[in-house]
Amino acid sequence: MSFCEKYFEIMDKNFPDKRYSTDELAGKFEILYNELVAFNEKVNLTAVTDIEGVIAKHFADSLLIEEYIPEGSEVIDVGCGGGFPTLPLAIVRKDLEITALDSTQKKLNFVSEMAQKLSLNVSVLCARAEETARKDEYRESFDVCVARAVARLNILSELCIPLVKKGGLFISCKAAIGEEEYREAKNGTELLGAKTKNTFTPILHTVTEEQKRSIFIFEKVEHTPQKYPRQYAKITKKPL
């Protein structure tokens, strides 16, 4: 089976309305797949490299949050690593302006290369999220902050919510988490000025199995108090 046939099969399973099943998008994701696997030989971006695995666990998985991002948003992806969810979102949503943030330059080199090659509206920022959120230029300046598989929710909230403007959204996507992880994060998200808007537990369909995911959407309803975010050591030692 060719890349495109596998792409259509997996996307159709996950998104039955077929919104991502076009030849144009399949062609772009094929380029992204080939480049990812080649770059991965030099810099470790992912343990998943087989075609079905990458299409399901990186491409489709990144797109699970796409429908919750408002039209024309300025988005920051905290801990984007090799570009997930940044690159799939930027491929399907030309209206978004995405800042891909990570503390590892080597990974961002791949994101920049792909943004150039596929003419995506993506810029990269090599920095720590908590330091970035203390700079006037970035603090409370994004419509939406997304993060996939970066940290426990109570830690991630303090890295992300200060970057979101009042009225904006923080969208976290991760492997299914228990009620406990959400409960232990709730108090902190409120201290940071956000409240829960929605939670979803979609199923990600791979070729052979179904995996649960957790999506949390928080809305910024108040400004974040100036004392947050704290230093990373404090965030992790004593989460809010």
CB of 175 to ligand SAM, least distance (A): 10
- Pick from 211, 45, 240: nearest CA to 153: 240
* 159 near ligand SAM, judged by CB under 6 A: yes
Give SS3 for 165.
strand
Question: Can residue 130 be called a binding residue for ligand SAM (CB under 6 A)?
Answer: yes
Task: Label residues 166-196 b or e (16+ Cβ within 10 Å = b).
Answer: eebbbbbbbeebeeeebeebbebbbbbbbee
Judged by CB under 6 A, the stretch of 73-81, 117-125, 133-141, 193-201 that binds ligand SAM is 73-81
CB of 23 to ligand SAM, least distance (A): 26
Instruction: Indicate whether 79 belongs to the interface with ligand SAM (CB under 6 A).
Output: yes
Structure tokens at 45: 């971006």
Q: In this chain, which of 98, 150, 163, 194 binds ligand SAM, going by CB under 6 A?
A: 150
3-class DSSP assignment, residue 77: strand
Q: Which of 4, 118, 125, 149 binds ligand SAM (CB under 6 A)?
A: 149
Read off the tokens for 122.
């993506």
Give 13 or 106: the residue with its C-beta nearer to ligand SAM.
106
Number of H helices, E strands in the chain: 10, 8
Residues that bind ligand SAM (CB under 6 A): 79-82, 84, 101-104, 107, 128-130, 148-150, 159, 232
